[in-house]
Amino acid sequence: MYYLCRLIFILMTHTFYKYQGTGNDFVIIDNRKNTYNKKDTKLTAHLCDRRFGIGADGLILLENDENSDFKMVYFNADGNQSSMCGNGGRCIVAFAKFLNIIDKTTSFNAIDGLHNAIIKEGSVELQMQDVAVIEDHNTHFFLNTGSPHHVQIESALETMDVKSLGAKIRYGAPYNEAGSNVNFVSKINDDTFAIRTYERGVEDETLSCGTGVTAAAIAMHHKGEVLGEQIILKTQGGELKVRFEKKGSDYNNIWLIGPATQVFKGEI
């Protein structure tokens, strides 16, 4: 009976939407009727596969939530449920607007707690969790912005092999099996930085990472590389902004700002 039920589920047709935020792309499914099997990691990985599936950096489910407008459930491209995704959060807000669940403001739940968001013409502003702990390891910083992030400054950002170096850091000590996302940052001017990111779960460089640019912005401010409380980050897929308030050693009222666009709708 189990195998028959699983076969029926596999043969189901799923309606999906493809969204991208500065090149960080996602398969998004309206799962308010709980039709998607969240335990089927092979199915999720298949949908994210760029050769045999739809192709995406991750899959996001929009679900009902008792205490907010909706719930975001995020899976990495390897099929496993993961920590918070900033660009994914901005994309699901745009999707909720498309479904007429929300208008221009929202509050939704994710794996790291409640998030507020504002939709403005051409952008989605997502409030991230506060950051109280920034580990300074001399050669790099480590902090959690909903997902764990290693941040280090590099001068030759354009020519570096992000996949190889990122994987070495991601799997090395002290991160080991749990792993960390890895960000390489280069300063352009007083308030602008270039960034390239290796994402765990994708196990490759992505064109953009929302929690990564948030971590980089805070790390660079903490290091004294920038004095203002709004920072521009140029990813491989486009430009994002991060604004925040620093109170003592804590970073509060952190907002990730940038475009979130529907690419296409399909069935699989």
Which are the catalytic amino acids?
Answer: 85, 209
Instruction: Kindly provide the b/e burial profile for residues 77-112, where b requires at least 16 CB atoms within 10 angstroms of the residue's own CB.
Output: bebebbbbbbbbbbbbbbbbbeeebbeeebebbbeb
Helix H, strand E, coil C: the string for the chain is CHHHHHHHHHCCCCEEEEEEECCEEEEEEECCCCCCCCCCHHHHHHHHCCCCCCCCCEEEEEECCCCCCCEEEEEECCCCECCCCHHHHHHHHHHHHHCCCCCCEEEEEECCEEEEEEEECCEEEEECCCECCEEECCCCEEEECCCEEEEEECCCCCCCCHHHHHHHHHHCCCCCCCCCEEEEEEEEECCEEEEEEEECCCCEEECCCHHHHHHHHHHHHHHCCCCCCEEEEEECCEEEEEEEEEECCEEEEEEEEECCEEEEEEEC
